[in-house]
Every structure is written in structure tokens, then in C-alpha cells.
Structure 1
Amino acid sequence: MAGYRDAHAKRYILHDIYKNGTGGTGENGAMRSLAKLRTGTYCIAAHRGHSHVLHTCDYNNSTCRCYLAKILRGRFGKWLTRKCSSTRNLSIQRWRAFAIYMSSGTRSILKINNSGGNWLRGGQNRAIPLYGGGQRRSAELVEGGPDQSSHPLQWTSRPGSTGDKTHFGQEGERGCGNGGDGEEGCQSGVSRGTQRSHKGEQILAMIMSSTVTPLARFFDSHLWLESHYRSMPNDQKSLRQALKLAQYSISKMSLTQIFNHVNRIDTNKLLFASDTPSEYYFGIIKSFDVCMELLSWQMGFENIKHFLQDIFDVLEKVRPKVNTLFILGAPNSGKNFFFDSVIHLMINYGQMGNFTRHDNFPLQECVQRRVIL
């Protein structure tokens, strides 16, 4: 395998573990399925009721579409554990260690196939034997000999990896999810679920540290488009889950908690996204005067307190089974002007569509919302 990482078109090497079935789905079944398969580069080893499969793969969009994987899924079902490594980051020692690992201990190699591999001479990419000579035993590589530091075939690591034998090949360890493709990429030795959870928590923290309304518009704001996550596709599971958690968190907040949450956010991360808001918006006192003038014209000054108390009771969920206000007024009388500011204050809002034959889903934007207009 020396020189393979630079000369071969495949970008990743995948290590999958499949559980052997009963009857013809064990070692013999695997050998019959793979007997006529001549394409691809792979190594298959049997080990105590399960099989190890190493193969090279393009792994586009973190999905394996190799014909080998299709055959194995047909025989064994979904893989139990998957680890992936970039071939660009694998040293000659690691390629040799792969072969030694697959044939050490109680593991036994069933088949090795190398299709299209290039063996180069000179420099680091030269053809070398898989096993060391003399009295050196392969067990020292896998199980850990008395002095691995002086062994020429010791485990190597790339920056950011664990750098020991747990980086590759420990059974029972969740590598890249639970037996399915289509997830985002993984790093060797790190659980894909752990990576996805960590990334989701970071995105959730970004959403909660700003005020963009509605919440889904956060991914169109400069806060997201200027972050290092900006190249992530919008259909990523971690994005959808982070948005769902943010909606749930705000939906559970009381009115006072929302006020305190907004007051803790930096001014340049509020919904108006301006370092100098006083140049674009009225101040608090001026805004209050405008609202009072509008409400006085609508209902008279004596009814304002009762009207605002009703709004507060609905938003704070004070009265059981009373969660709706019906506003009746003349056209162009400022209804939307006033209540747009109310729903934006609640951050996580939804707007109900019109119940007509032209709108099949009028309540589509009303799920998991703090307030609905």
C-alpha cells in the first residue's frame, strides 16, 4: 500500500464492522459474495462473530456508494461501526499497520483485493514489504510491545487525532453514527455523534446570543454569513436541530425571561443589527410616546390600561384557556403597525396564512412558536 495515498483517486479509507448472521451470512457467505468481485481496493477479515472491512472510497457527501458496500449490506445489513481516514494523511507506517492489524490476534484475513493501485519508486512512496523482518512481531504494533517508541512500524497520527491504537480498529466503539450513510464527515477516533452534538451546541449558542426575527432568518443574517459555518448546507441536520432547540427554548420562556434575555445580548447582535441604533430607530421614550398616541387615537386614553393588561395576560399565559385576542378595527388604522412590534418582541413568532383554496397549508409557520399573528 506504500505510495497509495497520493497516487490513488480514492480520498478516504473506511473501516466498517458488520455483524455476521447465521447460516450462509457468515464467513462462507461473504466469500461467495466477493469471489467474483474484482473491482475496488478492500481487505476483509473475520473476527469472533463479526467481520472487519477496510476499503477505499470517494465518500462524497459522507456517503459510501461503493458496489462492495452494497454487497455487504445485502449480506449483513447495516454496519455497526464506521471509522474513516483521509488517505492524504496516512503515512507508510499506518498502511503497514492496517494489514498487520487485520491479521493479528484472533482476526484472520479472508480476502485482499487491490484494483488500480499504483506502486511508486523513490522517496517516501516506494514499495516496501508489509511485515518487518527479524524477530519483530506484528503483535507489538497492535497490542503494544515493551518499547514502541523505537519500533519503525509504530502507530503514527495526524494533527488533531488521538495518535494511538485506539485511533483505529477498536471494536464496539461508535465511529460515525448508528449504521447509516448520509451524515456529515467524521474524523478517525472521534464519534460522529459527538462531533455532531458539539457542532449543534455551538450553532445553538450562536442563535441564542443574538436576536433575529423570525428565528429561521438567522441563517440569512451577517452573523451567520460571516461565521466559519457559512459554507454548511441549509439542509444539514445539525442546523435544523439547533433551530428547533432555539424555538423550544424561547417558547418555554416567560415574558420577563424574554426581556432579560434580550437585555443581555450585545447591541450589535439585536434584530436591527446596527452599532448605532439611535440613528435609525426612536429611543425608548420616543417609541413609548408614539405607541401611546396610536392607542389613544384607537380606543381612548381610559381604555389603554385594560387593553395592555389583556395583551400581557395572553403573552404571559396568565388566564387558563384564554390565549387569543381578536382585534377589530378599520382598515389602515395601525393594527399591524402595533402588533408587528409585539410579535417581534417575542422573537419566536409565526404568522397564520389565509384559509382559502389558494393556500393549502395556512398553519405551516405556526408550529413550535411563542406567539402567532
Structure 2
Amino acid sequence: CQGNESGRPTQRGHRRTNGRGNATDPQGAKGDAFLAFVRNHPCSPMLNIFHTRHWTTGQFKYQHKGDPLLKTIMHNRAIELMDMSMKDLYEFYCNLEPTKLIFNAPLGNIGDYYYSVDESIMHMEALLLFQFNNNEDLIRIFLEDLYNIIDKRLPKRNSMFILSRPNAGKNWFFDCFLHFFLNFGQIGNFNKHQSFPLQEAVNKRILLWNEPNAEPGAMDTLKMLLGGDTFNAKIKYEHDAVVVRTPVIILSNNDIFPKDAAFNS
């Protein structure tokens, strides 16, 4: 032991305090460091960070992926992303090194997977001009509608349905928006073969429903989902969860939806 200013003995090895009388939390410090790492290496889906060289050569490379702390941090980051607008994320990405903007690049090999920003814009503009017969006014309306939907700017306008023939570039175009938001989920089909179609719809920033299929009994649930209402969803091995307003992109070769006003507004 050694003495302190008050004359009382203090035992060596005690944890330091944070200036407010509370002991410093090593677990909290570790969690903060991991959260900073995840924020600074945006991946889509978020768990892809574990399959990149940034992870396997970084400071957490020996951390078990099943660690409850990691699961908690990923959950907290997902909640953060739910409230971030396109502008918020754009400004955040602008402050990161380009080599850390991983998104969906396999193993984090960005240069092998993505075009440059200028090339990406050129190819996307070419696709839009082709699909809209070079009508720039229609392109502007489409992009405004898309922006208003995915940024949740208009009430009861929560989904966009893209109907086209196969190989028209639907997934190629919209994948960049899904990956931009990092925290995205995919909706399953509402039929007897799938008991939990909304398993991935909870706590997401944006959702994709690719080649939709739904039985008539699911239409009331779909009205709430596509209109941005809050409702409960069944989750496998867990209690029911709440699905809050989450923008939905629907891509299909066939129109499965009813023709009433609720699905055509």
C-alpha cells in the first residue's frame, strides 16, 4: 500500500477513475474502439466487414465474431444508421479516406469491383437516358420521386415499384442506393414456403423486395409496409418485433399488386 494526500492508504492496482468518481470501463473503451472502426470502414451489408482485409489485418483480427460485445456494437450502429439521411451519409463519407469506402466490394477490393465516381455517374446517366428515351424531364421527376421516398420526405409514400423486362438493369441501378445506406434488408415472399418474410425488415434503413410474390392474405400487411405504417412482424426464434417506417424498393418482371388506389398511388 501507499499513502495518499488524505493520509489514507490506497491499494495499488486499482482502476483509474474518469474524473467523475466512476472507474474506467475497459469493456466500454474496447466497444468504443470497435464502433469507431466500423464507422470508418463502411460495409454493406454491415457484417461484410468481417470478410475484408481491413478486418483480417486490423487491430480486431483475433476477435471472435460471435463475441456478444461485437453483436451489441453492430446493433447500435444499425440503429444509428436508421436515422441518417442521404445528406448525412454523404457528408460522412466525404470525410473518410476513399480506400476505406468498402460498401459491397468483395474482400474490400474497391478498385477491382467499383468504377470511379465519374465513371459510375456516366454509366448511370446512360442507363437512365436509355430507359427514359432521352427525356431529361422524366428522369428528373423519377430521381426526385426516388429521393423523396428513400429519404422519407412524404407521408404514405414509402415504396417504389420498378416493373420491367429481365436484364433491364434494375438491380444494377438500385444496388448502389441500397449499399449506400449500409443497413439494408431483403423482404422474403409471403407464401406457404416462407414463414418469416419480414425476418430482415426490423431495424433497417432501407429494404429490397426482389421478384415479389405474395398470397392474397398478405395484402393488408403489405399496405402497412409499403405505406410506411408501423406494425408487428414475426421473427424466427424471437418475440414479435416492430417494423417502423422503412423505405422499400420493389423490383420485378411481373406486377403482382392489386389495382386499387392503395397500391397505385
After TM superposition, the score normalised by the length of structure 1 is 0.47
Amino acid paired to 2:60: Y
Please tell me whether Structure 1 or Structure 2 has the larger radius of gyration of its CA atoms: 1
Q: Is residue 2:131 matched to residue 1:311?
A: no
Question: 1:365: which partner in 2?
Answer: 200
Deviation at 1:352, TM superposition (A): 1.4
Question: 2:167: which partner in 1?
Answer: 332
Question: 1:162: which partner in 2?
Answer: 14
Amino acid paired to 2:178: I
Question: 1:14: which partner in 2?
Answer: none
Question: 1:354: which partner in 2?
Answer: 189
Deviation at 1:314, TM superposition (A): 0.8
Q: Is residue 2:104 matched to residue 1:252?
A: no
Q: 1:298 aligns with which of 131, 138, 144?
A: 131
2-structure distance, mates of 1:310, 1:280: 28
> For 1:326, what is the secondary structure of its paired residue?
strand
2-structure distance, mates of 1:258, 1:143: 52
2-structure distance, mates of 1:352, 1:343: 13
2-structure distance, mates of 1:195, 1:352: 39
2-structure distance, mates of 1:212, 1:147: 52
Aligned length: 198
Decide whether aligned partners of structure 1 residues 290 and 142 sit closer, same or farther in structure 2, where only a CA change above 3 A counts: closer
The alignment's C-alpha RMSD in Å is: 3.1
Q: Is residue 2:120 matched to residue 1:287?
A: yes
Question: 1:223: which partner in 2?
Answer: 54
Query: CA deviation digits over 1:57-112, x for unaligned, max 9?
Result: xxxxxxxxxxxxxxxxxxxxxxxxxxxxxxxxxxxxxxxxxxxxxxxxxxxxxxxx
Gaps of 5+ in 1: 1-140, 149-153, 167-172, 175-189
After TM superposition, the score normalised by the length of structure 2 is 0.65
> For 1:243, what is the secondary structure of its paired residue?
helix
Query: CA deviation digits over 1:1-35, x for unaligned, max 9?
Result: xxxxxxxxxxxxxxxxxxxxxxxxxxxxxxxxxxx
Q: Map 1:88-167 to 2 at 5 A.
A: 157=12, 161-162=13-14
Verify the 8 A CA contact 1:207 1:218 in the aligned structure 2.
yes
Deviation at 1:264, TM superposition (A): 1.2
Q: Which of structures 1 and 2 has the larger relative contact order (alpha carbons within 8 angstroms, sep 6+)?
A: 2
